[in-house]
């Protein structure tokens, strides 16, 4: 006797429901997402007994026709995708077509729905996947879902539900994840006749305020700073908490293309950006919204759709970390730094004041970082600074070479937090060197400590970025004995596309065999014999992840070049050199962290200092 048979739909749906509808909160999420997909601008939620007895969602979306209303409850019935490739261009919250089928398998569902073009709406009554009743009704345009007695026919599930209090918290948690992405939609949430949330349309900031702003005296968002960055790969905006507002139960949210997601890896990027800034065990709040081409993410890896895969997670990680650092940096130091008034400072024993020379104009012929033998062409970092023919003034040059491309508004001078300090006033100011590693700058607000190698790295990075974007020509140095670079076949293809960039930063390469290049000239900042290893480092940096947007390539080339050419620790800088380096550093839009996220400066405030002496 054959023993295999197909399960009846009602049973199959109940099994599927186990995955999609685990608790009232998941049911609420599916219903509200459907309302949003239907274009609703007003969504009202009513629950009784934390959704056990009733969970109602009313919207003013597009509604459904009589037939569609019936179809909607079939498994794999959806209006949102038609073919597999649509999965890679998702702009709707739903697409799997299993939510309604699942809900009606485990509850008693009543729906009233009407489209604008219909005179009458449809009423549909379904229990345990069985249609009990369908008839015309009069109702407003939109859809009204009532889900009653959830899990009435699955006692096990019902038993596993937590207390009402916990389930209500779950409902709200899931609800927050939605309302925070749709600030333009009005939402209400009523639980056992009590209005829990009444959210009016507004900005993202206002929405966060409406949801979390009730506790404490300060508005929630006053403890946050803006975050915004735009690259070809991804746009990121949102808010991150000031370090001093960190708490034990922070609000942490990631959204991508309007959908909440968990992303432990990106969470790490954010936490890295805060490293060293957080007191003890405390954590920052953040609300971070990603916009990315749907092609580059995969939301279809889990039925509840909170796990999302990005095509190039490493690049996004870097971009995110740098963006958060930059936001924190702007807030943390820049606005309060004032170089016009000098702090009172006694000259510390064993330190030389740097301003012994009265006139401190940079001498372009002077090359402190030359590591080549004296007979080599005397070109060093000073000459490289002034390198591109057009010699763009450092301010415009570096402003554009921030990580990622910034929006127009970000580039204007008024941007809050971009440096409001008068750079010329560094002239004649006492600077101190310490341990061959640090430059100390007394300011009114405290002692600014600068890591000199990292400062140099930032400056060089900006310079290389600029050379790359404007296809400039950096000073190159002919090699007496060309070095040989042999590549594998796949490195060869990569190399072809890298060549223009490499030439821009100062390499001259000639192909001499099928897979070999002769390096005849190198950027003048490179030390002898490091040509091959530098090129290898660049190749490695670029090839680690698949195809990259141009922007990201340039970023990586510039970064490996900067790493190779930045001055080593232990370099004793002259006063002019320190001043010059600082001037260039402080002109950069982001100078508190290196592009790969390491701290460049630290402001030891007077307050902190005084504390040491209490």
Site for ligand ADP, rule CB under 6 A = 30, 34-35, 38, 59, 61-64, 72, 77-80, 94-101, 143
Which residue, 108, 100, 127, 129, is CA-closest to 52? 108
CA 525 vs CA 508, 531, 533: distances in Å? 14, 11, 14
CB of 41 to ligand ADP, least distance (A): 13
- State which residue, 130 or 496, has the beta carbon closest to ligand ADP: 130
Q: How far apart are CA 334 and CA 445, in angstroms?
A: 11
Q: Answer for the pair 552, 521: CB distance below 8 angstroms, yes or no.
A: no
Q: Answer for the pair 299, 305: CB distance below 8 angstroms, yes or no.
A: yes
Q: Which does 128 bind (CB under 5 to 8 A by kind): Mg ion, ligand ADP, none?
A: none
- State which residue, 51 or 142, has the beta carbon closest to ligand ADP: 142
CB of 236 to ligand ADP, least distance (A): 27
Q: Which does 147 bind (CB under 5 to 8 A by kind): ligand ADP, Mg ion, none?
A: none
Q: How far apart are CA 348 and CA 87, in angstroms?
A: 66
Helices (H), 220-274: 264-273
**Nearest residue to ligand ADP, using CB?**
94
- State which residue, 256 or 557, has the beta carbon closest to Mg ion: 256
Termini Cα distance of the chain: 90
Token couple for 125: 């009554």
CA 349 to chain centre: 45
Q: Which does 476 bind (CB under 5 to 8 A by kind): Mg ion, ligand ADP, none?
A: none
Q: Which does 80 bind (CB under 5 to 8 A by kind): ligand ADP, Mg ion, none?
A: ligand ADP
Residue 350 zone, left/alpha/beta (φ > 0; ψ -120 to 50; rest): left
DSSP label at residue 438: E
- State which residue, 34 or 285, has the beta carbon closest to Mg ion: 34
- State which residue, 59 or 554, has the beta carbon closest to ligand ADP: 59
Q: Which does 115 bind (CB under 5 to 8 A by kind): Mg ion, ligand ADP, none?
A: none
Q: Which does 77 bind (CB under 5 to 8 A by kind): Mg ion, ligand ADP, none?
A: ligand ADP
Q: How far apart are CA 221 and CA 245, in angstroms?
A: 10
Q: Answer for the pair 494, 505: CB distance below 8 angstroms, yes or no.
A: no
Q: Which does 79 bind (CB under 5 to 8 A by kind): Mg ion, ligand ADP, none?
A: ligand ADP
CB of 61 to Mg ion, least distance (A): 12
- State which residue, 58 or 451, has the beta carbon closest to ligand ADP: 58
CA 43 vs CA 39, 175, 181, 189, 313: distances in Å? 10, 11, 14, 9, 34
Q: What is residue 540's three-state secondary structure? A: helix
Length of the chain counted residue by residue: 614
- State which residue, 51 or 472, has the beta carbon closest to ligand ADP: 51
Q: Answer for the pair 369, 571: CB distance below 8 angstroms, yes or no.
A: yes
CB of 99 to ligand ADP, least distance (A): 3
Q: Which does 241 bind (CB under 5 to 8 A by kind): ligand ADP, Mg ion, none?
A: none
CB of 47 to ligand ADP, least distance (A): 17
- State which residue, 112 or 452, has the beta carbon closest to Mg ion: 112
CB of 40 to Mg ion, least distance (A): 13
Pairing of strands 108-114, 121-127: antiparallel
Nearest-Å Rg of the Cα atoms of the chain is: 31
Q: Which does 561 bind (CB under 5 to 8 A by kind): Mg ion, ligand ADP, none?
A: none
Q: How far apart are CA 584 and CA 591, in angstroms?
A: 10
- State which residue, 51 or 404, has the beta carbon closest to Mg ion: 51
Helix (H) or strand (E) holding 455: helix 452-469
CB of 111 to Mg ion, least distance (A): 13
CA 267 vs CA 119, 288, 431: distances in Å? 50, 10, 38
**Nearest residue to Mg ion, using CB?**
94
- State which residue, 34 or 251, has the beta carbon closest to ligand ADP: 34
Q: Which does 60 bind (CB under 5 to 8 A by kind): Mg ion, ligand ADP, none?
A: none
CB of 71 to ligand ADP, least distance (A): 7
Token couple for 526: 């490179």
Instruction: Give residue for tokens 């009005």.
Output: 186
CB of 559 to ligand ADP, least distance (A): 42
Helix (H) or strand (E) holding 119: none
CB of 293 to ligand ADP, least distance (A): 21
CB of 63 to ligand ADP, least distance (A): 6
CB of 39 to ligand ADP, least distance (A): 8
Number of Cβ within 10 Å of residue 370's Cβ equals: 19
- State which residue, 99 or 476, has the beta carbon closest to Mg ion: 99
Q: Which does 388 bind (CB under 5 to 8 A by kind): ligand ADP, Mg ion, none?
A: none
Interacting residue ranges for Mg ion, rule: CB under 5 A: 34, 94, 99
Token couple for 118: 């219909």
Q: How many Å is the maximal CA-CA distance in the chain?
A: 104
Q: Which does 595 bind (CB under 5 to 8 A by kind): ligand ADP, Mg ion, none?
A: none
CB of 89 to Mg ion, least distance (A): 17
- State which residue, 229 or 257, has the beta carbon closest to ligand ADP: 257
Q: Which does 233 bind (CB under 5 to 8 A by kind): ligand ADP, Mg ion, none?
A: none
DSSP-assigned letters across all residues of 167-189: HHHHHHHHHHHHHTT-TTSEEEE
- State which residue, 14 or 78, has the beta carbon closest to ligand ADP: 78
């Amino acid at each position: 006797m054959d023993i295999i048979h197909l399960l009846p739909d009602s049973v199959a749906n109940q099994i599927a429901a186990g995955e999609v509808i685990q608790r009232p909160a998941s049911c609420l999420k599916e219903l509200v997402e459907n309302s949003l997909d239907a274009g609703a601008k007003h969504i009202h939620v009513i629950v009784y007994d934390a959704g056990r007895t009733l969970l109602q969602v009313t919207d003013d979306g597009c509604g459904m026709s009589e037939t569609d209303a019936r179809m909607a409850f079939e498994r794999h019935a959806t209006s949102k995708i038609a073919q597999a490739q649509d999965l890679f261009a998702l702009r709707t919250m739903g697409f799997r077509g299993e939510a309604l089928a699942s809900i009606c398998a485990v509850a008693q569902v009543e729906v009233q729905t009407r489209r604008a073009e219909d005179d009458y709406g449809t009423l549909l009554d379904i229990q345990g996947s069985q249609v009990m009743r369908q008839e015309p009704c009069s109702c407003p345009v939109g859809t009204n879902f009532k889900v009653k007695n959830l899990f009435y026919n699955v006692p096990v599930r019902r038993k596993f539900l937590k207390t009402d209090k916990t389930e209500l918290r779950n409902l709200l948690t899931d609800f927050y994840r939605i309302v925070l992405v749709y600030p333009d939609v009005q939402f209400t949430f009523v639980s056992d006749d009590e209005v829990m949330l009444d959210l009016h349309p507004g900005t993202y900031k206002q929405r966060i305020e409406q949801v979390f702003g009730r506790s404490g005296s300060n508005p929630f968002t006053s403890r946050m700073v803006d975050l915004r960055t735009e690259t070809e790969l991804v746009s990121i905006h949102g808010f991150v908490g000031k370090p001093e507002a960190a708490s034990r139960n922070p609000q942490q949210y990631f959204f991508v293309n309007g959908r909440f997601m968990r992303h432990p890896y990106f969470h790490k990027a954010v936490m890295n950006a805060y490293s060293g800034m957080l007191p003890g065990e405390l954590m920052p709040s953040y609300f971070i919204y990603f916009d990315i081409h749907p092609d580059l993410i995969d939301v279809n890896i889990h039925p509840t759709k909170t796990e999302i895969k990005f095509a190039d997670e490493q690049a996004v990680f870097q971009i995110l970390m740098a963006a958060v650092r930059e936001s924190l940096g702007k807030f943390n130091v820049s606005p309060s730094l004032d170089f016009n008034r000098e702090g009172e400072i006694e000259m510390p024993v064993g330190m030389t004041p740097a301003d012994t020379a009265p006139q401190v104009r940079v001498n372009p012929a002077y090359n402190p970082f030359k590591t080549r033998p004296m007979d080599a062409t005397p070109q060093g970092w000073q000459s490289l600074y002034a390198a591109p023919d057009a010699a763009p003034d450092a301010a415009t040059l570096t402003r554009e070479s921030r990580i990622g491309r910034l929006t127009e508004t970000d580039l204007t001078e008024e941007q809050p937090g971009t440096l409001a300090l008068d750079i010329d006033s560094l002239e004649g100011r006492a600077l101190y060197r310490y341990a061959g590693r640090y430059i100390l700058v007394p300011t009114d607000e405290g002692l600014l400590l600068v890591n000199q190698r990292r400062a140099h790295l930032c400056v060089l990075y900006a310079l290389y970025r600029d050379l790359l974007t404007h296809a400039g020509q950096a000073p190159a140095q002919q090699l007496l004995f060309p070095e040989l670079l042999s590549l594998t076949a796949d490195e060869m293809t990569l190399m072809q596309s890298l060549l223009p960039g490499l030439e821009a930063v100062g390499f001259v390469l000639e192909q001499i065999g099928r897979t070999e290049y002769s390096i005849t000239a190198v950027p003048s900042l490179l030390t002898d014999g490091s040509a091959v290893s530098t090129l290898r480092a660049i190749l490695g940096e670029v090839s680690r992840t698949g195809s990259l947007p141009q922007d990201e390539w340039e970023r990586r080339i510039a970064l490996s070049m900067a790493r190779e050419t930045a001055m080593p620790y232990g370099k004793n800088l002259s006063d002019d050199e320190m001043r010059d380096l600082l001037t260039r550093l402080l002109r950069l839009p982001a100078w508190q962290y290196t592009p790969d996220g390491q701290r460049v400066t630290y402001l030891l405030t007077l307050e902190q200092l005084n504390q040491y002496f209490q």
